[in-house]
Structure 1
């Protein structure tokens, strides 16, 4: 009788253990998304800890009902694996400095959120691990399950290896957008930019022709009080949309690439926008988003993070379209894209676990994907605009010169009235900036 009681007690305790310790009785946990199954070993990583460094507080509750928040997804991963995932918060202003120190000291840094400034220096200094060691990017089912964002993979590919990843299931997938006020175009009797884009007629020439008509003295006092355009992005969209990269990579080495006619045309376009068409206010850099939302300007080229603010300000008057294309490209669009992505630091003590967590947090369930896409469609104002922006997202451009210290400041010095002469005069300084980086390349 005593043996029977002991057996019952043992069975109850064992059952409770199975219940509250996920994976104890199940060596492999299977997480299926689409046609891909992520097999997670429930015993291998127990007791281990990885550290995720990011510049924003962890989101505790998702803004989309029935979609797990980052906190909820992390806690689920911890229950399945028995590992701990610690979030290390650093500010945007200090993240590069603190991440660098942590990685080089080899302490407490597994997953880092990086941006274009880290290429190529962090690869050259071996501060990041090639992700190809841990993720099979050739597996189409895995690729689709995650929804890897190809422009990010392409940008963070260095010497044939991929160093950072992100997915398409967040608002950062959208490129920079040319926001426009539909009412202003209608009142001026001008065609809708989105319709022109669909017809293949949305070009610099059209942009300038419409812009000069939108720049008006609306109250008759002899002073311009409505301008066509203002944006903090100056020459960059003209470079991208005329198929110009300020540097190109050859064998992992950055090479100066601004000394060509297509680049000259891009800078010349900025000059003509002001001198010839007078599309921007003299102090165009002053609060372009606020001016657009108040109707002082008719167009503003800005990021997708401001979609809600733009919508709240303009309502149904808000239009969205890619930036017009230049004369020397065959691409339908080439807008600037978000440059941030996840990477594994070379200081990681458990890179395999870090890669597993990367896949986990970048792989929403099939149902979550449906809800995220539905939310994105609503945010941009409908399926048609969503499809156009997602199509444009496949051609986004990330500034390849962002990781060359001093290069952007030199670009700001280019005389747009005479770009060919100015770029040639500045070329030795541009090449010196590149060479300063190449000193660390072996």
Structure 2
């Protein structure tokens, strides 16, 4: 076998939105006092409600809440190629949280990536996207976070390798990859399009997953939204700029909106990290905002080719053997839900025929789904989703490779054969 280049990320049969969610990487900095106060109690209540909505849009809870822990108390370990970061406490606790932050301090972190004392924040906190958030929206989020229950829990210090534990080195990173500035509306576009762009590029920070990163942890700006592999999570976020992956050029806007809001649509369903984004964040957004995001995503320029990805290749002869073996495995294990012709039963069971997620150069997502199974998110619009059972215990590496090869190369699909070694590499990958 030979290797080609692969660099990409996120969920199976997905569309947009990010999987790496907002993190204020305070690293234990001292905080200042202050609060966002409106003119009347009613105004303050409205401000807090707005902030709660915006915090949902940014999916703050996903990174700042450990499963089973106190809300926004932090402590979630975030593995990166540079070491492990731990999310901070952002409750209004005076000792360990943001109880002594002013709204100016909070906006500075969002807008400039600097803490209260001016120290540089690590870009695990997506200030490169949050810089686009307006001052008014920042103040609303701050007001909401000030309203939640304080939790007196210290933030755990990051465990980064040298030299990445030297904050002063961030100056060079920022010079290369950070441009400060709030979102500026495009006067040639509609109000709805601009709202969608603001949410996708700002609070949604979708590019953090759907754009490849380089060896320095910076985004490859020439390939924005062109797909990437989520570091150490082993999920691939498909390209949104290529119709060979999750490009949206031939999607109906309604299908995009349905996928974002409910996790399922007539074109497919979300799994993996993207399912968490829909569950924690997108299902709570208004129809108007979802439609605005779909409108913007629909207009992302499409390219004829997806970026080349790192992929183990099988010989043509062995690929043919896998295809033949996979047909029987599919008939025995998959056809009951996905149908002999691969058309499935939308919305319950997504189609595999003519499904771009199945045919992408990266076979990471379909391999992981066969191995680990999964569910779309449970949402108000789809409260009882049908799931995919795991086959890791029932099928060998060769058998998984065979059935994935079959679905990638049948019913007019134009995917390539996958190697048992690829399955072996992913068999022990983390489940979330």
TM bin (shorter chain):
under 0.3
With the length of structure 2 as denominator, give the TM-score of the two structures: 0.24
Query: For the pair shown, which has the larger CA radius of gyration, 1 or 2?
Result: 1
**Higher helix proportion:** 1
Determine which structure has greater relative contact order: mean sequence separation of CA pairs < 8 Å that are 6+ residues apart, divided by chain length: 1
With the length of structure 1 as denominator, give the TM-score of the two structures: 0.23
